[in-house]
Copies of this chain bind each other. A is one copy, B any other.
Amino acid sequence: MNTTPYKTYLSESELPSAWYNIRADMKKKPAPLLNPQTKAPVTAEELEHVFCRECVRQEMDDTTPYIPIPEPIRDFYKMYRPSPLVRAYFLERALETPAKIYYKFEGNNTSGSHKLNSAIAQAYYAKEQGLDDLTTETGAGQWGTALSMACAFFGLKCHVYMVKCSYEQKPFRREVMRTYGADVTPSPSMTTEIGRRINAEFPGTTGSLGCAISEAVEAAIKLPNARYVLGSVLNQVCLHQSVIGLETQAAFRKLGVKPDVIIGCAGGGSNLSGLIAPFIGEKLRGEEDYRIIAVEPASCPSLTRGRYAYDYCDTGKVCPLQKMYTLGAGYIPPPNHAGGLRYHGMSATLSELYDQKQIEACAVEQTSVFKAATLFARTEGTLPAPESSHAIRATIDEALRCKETGKEETIVFGLTGTGYFDMMAYQRFNDGQMNDVIPADADLAAGFAQLPVV
């Protein structure tokens, strides 16, 4: 007999009315952002040239535990939230594990991921501030799609700089953004100074996230009434994503279940910090204990093999310096890696929590990730995003450990998105043409050698 339902939905009235700010409960706070020129802590005024005013306020606030979610954002959330907490009965059966596996599914919206949770918040604050345009960059395209949807909703013009190789390889992602009214420019482009410089210096380059960030920041500064927005890493983004964890906590309370292990993939860190937010709060306040596992790709192992140091957030080095686990701003993961999680660093909050040993981390190889993804798809129905499948891999490994020990642990992981726009990677896997490339120590050492001196 099944004791909990397959899917637990909160009612709309149970949708969180405030985001939870992990930093408020941290005794040792994440280190402040530094101005990349002066190496002094950045001021709100400096950040407001680039980001919306309220987002800057949230970025710098490390004392307020709960920040109310404005009503128009909650109304938008109601179109796709509360998202379901799903019991993976069929995966459990396939693994023959005594573990109870749950996942919080964030992929049931057109952006295909959790990114929309922050995109709509940032677009709302931009609208409130009276701005006309927002600019951003996108690699795989999920964040660009989410921001396009948010801007369409609030009537803002959205300019997306899309890494040129993705622009060409993922024309469908590009068309989704255009359908929502965004203009999408392959980066490096000839529309910005930095784009023209890079095109001149590296003719035929297919671009990088770092370059796209620099172009988007330049475009925001040059437009008459615009700001730049970022989809991960930043404190404000982690704050908005706490809606994931708050709903998860409320659903578990409803079920009378306490998770033992909480697992999430970690690229920039926004989804994981969102999922764990209220749980880590309980842990920091000494109320409960949880094992929390950040899962990263073996090809881009910032937590498990990186340094905890100040580094640039972007390869263009125009953004503030952040203290984080990093592989160096110049680190580029092996090109064969599928999907996101390719970021060289990690959110400051997660980095500090990892340094304080409040969370664990592990690195997994991509063929094993796609094996896990395929098993999950065939048993649980949903075709997962490659990023999310890192968490599936670690979850399966934990469930198999429970099978060995006979322990009936409760595991919850974040299923951040669907893989519908990642079928080229699945095709490589289906055709047996995917392999694992793990960076050599020497490659990492080169990145560490370029860390800025602060």
Contact = CB atoms under 8 A, between A and B. Distances in A.
A7 interface: yes
24 contacts: A5-B11, A6-B12, A7-B79, A9-B9, A75-B89, A76-B381, A108-B108, A109-B381, A110-B381, A149-B378, A149-B381, A153-B378, A153-B379, A153-B381, A171-B427, A172-B423, A175-B426, A175-B430, A176-B423, A176-B426, A178-B426, A178-B427, A178-B430, A180-B378
Interface of A: 5-7, 9, 11-12, 75-76, 78-80, 86, 89-90, 108-110, 112, 149, 152-153, 171-172, 175-176, 178-181, 374, 377-383, 418, 420-421, 423-424, 426-427, 430
Given A423-B175, A426-B175, A6 B374 contact: no
Contacts of A12: 5-7
A110 B383 contact: yes
B423 A378 contact: no
Contacts of A86: 79
Contacts of A171: 423, 427
A175 B6 contact: no
A326 B406 CA distance: 61
A7 B381 contact: no
Contacts of A109: 381-382
Contact of A430 (B75, B80, B179, B379): B179
B423 A382 contact: no
Contacts of A418: 110
What 6 A-B pairs are tightest by C-beta distance, nearest first? A172-B423, A6-B78, A175-B423, A152-B378, A110-B383, A175-B427
Nearest to A152: B378
A420 B423 contact: no
Given A6-B79, A178-B426, 4 more contacts: A152-B377, A153-B379, A175-B423, A175-B424
A375 B179 CA distance: 9
A78 B7 contact: yes
